[in-house]
Amino acid sequence: MQMKTILVVEDEREIARMVQAYLMREGYRVEVAFAGEEGWAMFKALQPDLVVLDLMLPGMHGLEVARRIRQEATTPIIMLTARTEEADRVAGLEMGADDYVTKPFSLRELAARVRAVLRRTEGGTVPEVIRVGPLTVDLAAREARLAGTVLDLTPTEFDLLAFFARHPGRVFTRRELLEALQERTYATLPRTVDSHVKNLRRKIEPDPDDPTYILTVHGVGYKFRPDAGEG
């Protein structure tokens, strides 16, 4: 198996070097950038398999780096930040981040999240295609199409759509969805799934404000309509 490349963009050099050394011991190739502009340039040059991205960077802000990455690729992003407010976390998720780690964090936890995100990105080998109206979800190819057009989904967005498509009509709580996606329990942020649903609706719904595929079940969570797009 080819070694995965991880780009770490972190202006605190001690933290960056510690993360680099630990992830290298875990078997990854790890490159480091210490500022936003440098990180963006290295991303374009390296085309890494995953980016560990600090939010507060000198020069170009981490959210801007994430925005530029998302304009060009679906590369998984794990954001790092010292901030603890939910609004900042949601901003990162809405920009397309796949996971979020708040400083201080353990290197072991970060490595576990890296493995989980990469595992989701690699996907499985089940040759299954799910069709719901004009929407097609190819689980083996990890590809979704709407009326024949390939959708530009992040790994987390695809996993969320695939999970919904596998369980049409069933109502899931936010925590159940996060546990299905992340393989762990979010103790403090069950509503971060709202950000992923919002992003996914923008890409698959004819009218994101009046969704036909992913419906909100007030006071509970969400469900996927098995007959969406028909008739």
% of the chain surpassing 90 pLDDT? 48
Which among 196, 198, 201 has a CA at the least distance from the CA of 225? 201
Each residue of 144-193: pLDDT tens digit?
999 999 999 998 899 899 889 888 888 888 887 877 776 443 444 557 78
Which among 200, 182, 52, 49 has a CA at the least distance from the CA of 118? 49
Query: What is the C-alpha end-to-end distance of the chain, expressed in Å?
Result: 46
| Comparison of pLDDT for 38 and 178, the residue scoring more | 38
Report all structural domains of the chain as residue ranges with CATH numbers, in order of start: 5-122 (3.40.50.2300), 129-224 (1.10.10.10)
Which among 215, 114, 116, 137 has a CA at the least distance from the CA of 169? 215
pLDDT computed for residue 224 by the predictor: 92
**Mean local confidence (pLDDT), 58-64:** 91
Structure tokens at 181: 């996606």
Which of 119-123, 124-128, 145-149 has maximum average pLDDT? 145-149
Torsion of CA 37, 41, 46, 48, to 10 degrees: 40
pLDDT computed for residue 98 by the predictor: 85
pLDDT computed for residue 187 by the predictor: 43
**pLDDT grade for 213, boundaries at 50, 70 and 90:** very high
Each residue of 86-109: pLDDT tens digit?
677 777 787 788 888 888 888 988
Residue 198 has pLDDT above 90, yes or no: yes
- Contact between 152 and 74 under an 8 Å Cβ cutoff? The reply is yes
Q: What is the pTM of this model?
A: 0.62
Residue 219 has pLDDT above 60, yes or no: yes
**Mean local confidence (pLDDT), 66-73:** 91
pLDDT computed for residue 91 by the predictor: 77
Taking the CA atoms of 173, 175, 178 and 184 in sequence, report the sign of the dihedral they define: negative
